[in-house]
Amino acid sequence: MRQIKVTNFQGKQFEGDWNEKVYPSKVQGRPELHRIYVSGTEIHITDEELQRITNDIQDSKEANEEANMRMIVNLFDGLTDENKRKIVNTLMKKYIETKDIDKQMNLFDLLDKWIAIAK
């Protein structure tokens, strides 16, 4: 659920929880509208309003991810070299488990590959 502020097609504002689901509108003669539910209230919105709230949510997700990355980097910087090695090793293993990567690949070759992608 996402906390949003939204304006319906008639200009009335609503605020509450939205599950990010969108349905066809039930308003007669207005097939271009979208129906969403905010805290259980059925609301009909325009394409522009739907785009605005979805963009706001995406921006919020990206900002949260960026903040999380900064926090992790700051925590990582404060660790001992031994703990940094343990974390990097664990992350590499988890990455390899989730990707189609040759399990026998030399880890230095894998690091070179990641560095090339990151550039």
Matching residue, tokens 């659920």: 1
- The rounded mean pLDDT for the chain is 86
Matching residue, tokens 């894998």: 110
Whether 15 has a pLDDT exceeding 90, the answer reads yes
Strand residue runs (E) in 19-119: 23-24, 34-38, 41-45
Whether 10 and 28 have beta carbons less than 8 Å apart is answered as no
Q: What is the pLDDT of residues 81-118, one digit of tens each?
A: 888 888 888 887 777 777 766 666 666 776 777 677 76
Mean per-residue pLDDT for 16-34? 93
Whether 17 and 38 have beta carbons less than 8 Å apart is answered as yes
pTM: 0.58
Whose CA is closest to 24, among 36, 14, 6? Answer: 36
